[in-house]
Structure formats: structure tokens, C-alpha cells
């Protein structure tokens, strides 16, 4: 006898919503995605997809497309503002050798386009969820006054999730008093930077990026929130950013030189505090809605991608939705919470403002034995939440 699959509404058609939908489709369920934006546009900056994200995308059968469109990196370096190499991570010798995948830098719009192209699922754009009521027989209410009543609601609506209120009410985001700047530059990259990720740990600022093509570079930088009365996410003229990072190692100054004010967008840095639970009744959270984290570990999208695959497998494995959500949460929550804590720690280290503190940090980072970093990288990749290893396991470290 064939099982009747539940009707699933995914609120939010970002990376998490699209991956969840693709994984559900591959398990025989066609969900509906409700996305607030009126259309998909190739906006946003770059993303560094680390090994764990690529392992999931491989499981979904789309990793070759991602690698073809993105840039597989050979290595990644952490430098001091003076240019000294503090750490170098050879991605060929560890990640690619042991797990089959290194890191891929990709434009967010390109990743989104591949996911949309792979999907049969309907994406209803211009559908902004206002609230979800009655969690056991959920109703999704939209801003235009319409509503739907699916069997299951997945809240993949990002860090300012509207669905989250139905699971854990009144969550207040925690702000770091820093902002992140991001841009994609068109710049002639010297050969040595065409397959290399870079981070520079400075005084109160952290910057870096990765190539997205021979002449495209994804740049990011953080800086303390302006002490003026301007809102935290007010754009800053690129001339000020050029000045701030002028003495930093290449390619940062050349990249900033090639940008115009309109190319740079700014995000106030916030995180979701650890939630007591990720689901209630027939409503479940995933991605940034559940565990939006600071960007310093480069893992927010990767964790959202792991969520999508595991949640889809859990939903399609059983008729009992509380069993499904329990299995998903048991695997995913401890890992995402742990990685969020790592991100906080890196954020604290990355935003040290005193010259002495930043200098000492850089000295110590250089002294940490490579073997410790290698252990952490191995744990991150080997702990990836893949259904064949994760579901049914009660404890899974990573
Ligand atoms: C500066 C910075 C750099 C980063 N770099 C990396 C990186 O290198 N690697 C990495 O893995 N991660 C990175 N991240 C994190 C990553 O961007 C996020 O974790 C990831 O996008 C989360 O995906 P999501 O689908 O959960 O949420 P989102 O990408 O925010 O998508 C949510 C979707 O829901 C829609 N939506 C919102 N509200 C509603 C509503 N009420 N109704 C319907 N739809 C709604 C939105 O329009 C959006 O399409 C970075 C983050 C920042 C801030």
C-alpha cells in the first residue's frame, strides 16, 4: 500500500527552503514554497560553501553543477593586516583527499538559480507570511489576507522569521555591535588569488573574500557599528572602506578600488539565541529561522543546507510528524548550536578592538599547531548530517 504524503508548505524560498523542497521532491513529496519577495533576482554577494555543504549537495546530485559554476578553492589563508600568513589551509590535502570535496566559492544568485532549475515545486512569490496559527492544524496567514491550511509547515523564512513565533514566541535577536559589508567586484585578479580564499584579521575589523571567476571577487568586511545616530545598516561610502583597508594585503585594496558605492551592501550582525525547541505541533523551523548565526565560521548557509536534507528525509520517513521532527531536531539542533557557539567565539576574536589584543591574538593564532586546526576541520566535515549516518542516531558529534 502506498503511503499518503503530507501536504507541506515551506515558508521562505531562500537556500534552506529551496534545498528542503528539492530533497522532499526526491523523496516523492511535492511541497509548495511561499516566498515574500515578488520575484527572484540574481542579487546578493558570494558564499563560501564548505565541505559539509558540498557533501549534502552531492547527496542531492547537484554538486557537479555547483562546482562548474563556482570556483573550487585550492587553499585558504588567514593573514595579519601587515600581510604575514598566520595560517594556511590546504584544502586539497585534507578536505578533498579525505572527503572528496574542498570549498567552493559561488555567487548566491548562481546557487539560487541552480536550485530553482532543479525543482518542479511551485514557488509562490509575493506571498509574505504574517503569522501561523493553530500549530496542530496549522493555518498560514499571508499579508494580503489569504491563507492556506497544509498538513505541515516548514518555517524557512530567515533570521526575522514570522513562523518562529508559533514555535517559540517573542524571540529577541542578539546584536553584535558590528556590521558586515559585502560586494562582488569585477577586478583583474593576479594568478595567485584565482583559487585562494583569504581572511585578514585586523584591529576591530575582519575582512577577506574569495574569487568567483577570473575577474570576479566576493569581498566582505566587518567594522564596529558607527557611533553616530545613523542606523547600523546605513551604507558607508566606499572611499571610507578603501581608506580603512588601504594598507591591508592584496587583493583587498585592489578589490575595493574597483567598487562603487552602489556595489556594497551592509548588514547589521545579529543572531538567534539558542531556542528551546525547533518545532511545535505540525510546524517546524529550519535554517536561519531556527539558528541564524554570526557569519564568522562561514557556516550559516551550510547549516541551513544540512537542515533541509535531514528535515525532508525525516518528514518522508514516517507518518508520525512528532517522530519526524524529533529525529530531525535530535540530529540537527546540537550540531547547529555548537557551530553557532564557534561562530560567536570567532566573532569575539575577529572584533577585538585594541591594538595589543589584536596583535596578541594574531601571534597566538600563528602558534596554534596545525594539527589542532586539522582536527577541527575533520570533525566539521565528518559530522555532516547525512540521512544514512544521522537518522536514528541519538548522539552525533561534529
Ligand atoms: C555577511 C554574511 C556572510 C555570510 N557568508 C556565508 C558563507 O560564506 N557561507 C555560509 O554557509 N553562510 C554564510 N552566511 C550565512 C547565510 O547567508 C545564511 O545563513 C543563509 O542565507 C540562511 O538561509 P535561509 O534560507 O535559512 O535564510 P535566508 O537566506 O534569509 O532566506 C529566507 C527567505 O525567506 C523569505 N522570507 C522572509 N520572511 C518571509 C515571510 N514572512 N514570508 C515568506 N517568505 C519570507 C526571504 O525573502 C528569503 O528568500 C553569511 C551571512 C552573512 C550575514
> For every one of its 398 residues, what pLDDT tens digit does the chain have, with 9 covering 90 and above?
566 788 999 999 999 999 999 999 999 999 999 999 999 887 779 999 999 999 999 999 999 999 999 999 999 999 999 999 999 999 988 999 999 999 999 999 999 999 999 999 889 999 999 999 999 999 999 999 999 999 999 999 999 999 999 999 999 999 888 899 999 999 999 899 999 999 999 998 899 999 999 899 999 999 887 655 556 666 778 999 999 999 999 999 999 999 999 999 999 899 999 999 999 999 999 999 999 999 999 999 999 999 999 999 999 999 999 999 999 999 999 999 999 999 999 988 888 889 999 999 999 998 999 999 999 999 999 999 999 887 754 433 33
DSSP state of 14: S
- Closest of 340, 48, 320, 315 to residue 176, by C-alpha: 340
Q: Which helix (H) or strand (E) holds 306?
A: helix 300-317
User: pTM of the predicted model, to two decimals?
Assistant: 0.95
Can you tell me whether residue 295 is helix, strand or coil? Answer: helix
What was the pLDDT predicted at 234? 66
Domain 8-173+271-390 class in CATH: alpha beta
The three cell numbers of residue 127 are: 506571498
User: Chain centroid to CA 391: how far?
Assistant: 22
Bridge partners of residue 196, in order along the sequence: 75
Closest protein CA for atom 9 of ligand 1: 298
Q: How far is the CA of 53 from the centre of ligand 1 (A)?
A: 15
CA–CA distance, 366 with 248 (Å, rounded to integer): 18
E strands, 215-294, are 216-224, 265-271, 279-280, 283-285
Q: Closest ligand 1 atom, CA of 289?
A: 26
CA of 156 to the centre of ligand 1 (A): 9
* Atom number of ligand 1 nearest to Cα 292: 19
Counting beta carbons within 10 angstroms of the beta carbon of residue 229, is it exposed (0 to 12), middle (13 to 18) or buried (19 or more)?
exposed
CA dist 133 and 124 (Å) reads 20
Where does ligand 1 bind, in terms of residues with CB under 6 Å?
11-17, 34-37, 47-48, 128-129, 156-158, 162, 180, 182, 220, 267, 287-288, 295, 298-302, 304
User: How far apart, in whole angstroms, are the C-alpha atoms of residue 115 and residue 104?
Assistant: 16
| Residue boundaries of the structural domains of the chain | 8-173+271-390, 176-270
The per-residue pLDDT for 223 is: 84
Q: Contact at 8 Å (CB) between 20 and 10?
A: yes
pLDDT of residue 230: 56
Q: How far is CA 375 from the centre of its chain?
A: 22
Most distant CA pair in the chain: distance in Å? 69
Give 15 Cα–ligand 1 centroid separation in angstroms: 7
Confidence at residue 137, expressed as pLDDT on a 0 to 100 scale: 97
* H or E stretch at 217: strand 216-224
How many whole angstroms from 172 Cα to the centroid of ligand 1? 18
Ligand 1 geometric centre to CA of 157 (Å)? 8
Report the alpha-carbon distance of residue 269 to residue 159 in Å, rounded.
11
pLDDT at 390: 75
140, containing H or E segment:
strand 139-142
Residue 398, pLDDT score: 38
- Match domain 176-270 to its CATH number in 3.30.9.30, 3.30.479.30, 3.60.130.10, 3.20.20.80: 3.30.9.30
Amino acid at each position: 500500500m502506498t503511503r499518503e504524503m503530507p501536504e507541506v508548505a515551506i515558508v521562505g524560498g531562500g537556500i534552506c527552503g529551496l534545498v528542503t523542497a528539492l530533497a522532499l521532491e526526491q523523496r516523492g513529496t511535492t511541497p509548495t514554497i511561499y516566498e515574500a519577495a515578488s520575484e527572484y533576482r540574481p542579487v546578493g554577494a558570494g558564499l563560501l560553501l564548505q565541505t559539509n555543504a558540498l557533501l549534502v549537495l552531492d547527496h542531492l546530485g547537484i554538486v557537479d553543477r555547483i562546482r562548474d559554476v563556482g570556483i573550487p578553492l585550492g587553499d585558504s589563508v588567514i593573514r595579519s593586516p601587515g600581510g604575514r600568513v598566520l595560517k594556511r589551509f590546504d584544502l586539497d590535502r585534507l578536505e578533498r583527499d579525505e572527503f572528496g570535496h574542498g570549498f567552493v566559492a559561488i555567487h548566491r544568485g548562481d546557487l539560487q538559480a541552480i536550485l530553482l532549475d532543479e525543482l518542479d515545486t511551485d514557488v509562490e512569490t509575493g506571498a509574505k507570511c504574517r503569522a501561523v496559527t493553530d500549530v496542530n492544524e496549522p493555518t498560514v496567514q499571508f499579508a494580503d489576507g489569504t491563507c492556506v491550511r497544509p498538513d505541515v509547515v516548514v518555517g524557512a523564512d530567515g533570521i526575522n522569521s514570522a513562523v518562529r513565533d508559533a514555535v517559540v514566541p517573542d524571540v529577541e535577536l542578539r546584536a553584535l555591535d558590528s556590521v558586515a559589508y559585502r560586494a562582488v567586484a569585477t577586478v583583474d585578479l593576479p594568478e595567485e588569488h584565482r583559487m585562494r580564499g583569504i581572511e585578514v584579521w585586523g584591529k576591530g575589523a575582519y575582512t577577506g573574500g574569495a574569487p568567483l571567476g577570473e575577474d570576479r571577487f566576493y569581498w566582505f568586511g566587518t567594522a564596529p557599528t558607527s557611533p553616530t545616530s545613523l542606523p547600523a545598516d546605513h551604507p558607508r561610502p566606499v572611499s571610507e572602506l578603501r581608506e580603512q583597508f588601504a594598507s591591508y594585503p592584496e587583493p583587498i585594496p585592489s578589490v575595493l578600488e574597483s567598487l562603487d558605492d552602489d556595489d556594497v551592501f551592509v548588514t547589521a550582525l545579529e543572531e538567534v539565541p539558542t531556542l528551546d525547541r525547533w518545532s511545535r505541533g505540525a510546524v517546524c523551523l529550519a535554517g536561519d529561522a531556527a539558528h541564524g548565526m554570526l557569519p564568522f565560521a562561514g557556516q550559516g548557509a551550510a547549516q541551513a543546507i544540512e537542515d533541509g536534507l535531514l528535515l525532508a528525509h525525516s518528514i518522508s520517513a514516517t507518518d508520525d510528524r512528532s517522530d519526524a521532527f524529533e529525529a530531525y531536531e535530535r540530529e540537527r539542533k546540537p550540531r547547529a548550536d555548537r557551530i553557532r557557539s564557534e561562530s560567536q567565539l570567532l566573532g569575539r576574536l575577529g572584533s577585538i578592538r585594541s591594538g595589543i589584543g589584536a596583535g596578541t591574538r594574531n601571534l597566538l593564532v600563528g602558534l596554534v599547531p596545525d594539527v589542532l586546526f586539522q582536527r577541527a576541520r575533520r570533525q566539521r566535515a565528518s559530522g555532516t548530517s547525512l540521512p544514512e549516518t544521522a537518522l536514528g542516531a541519538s548522539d552525533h558529534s561534529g
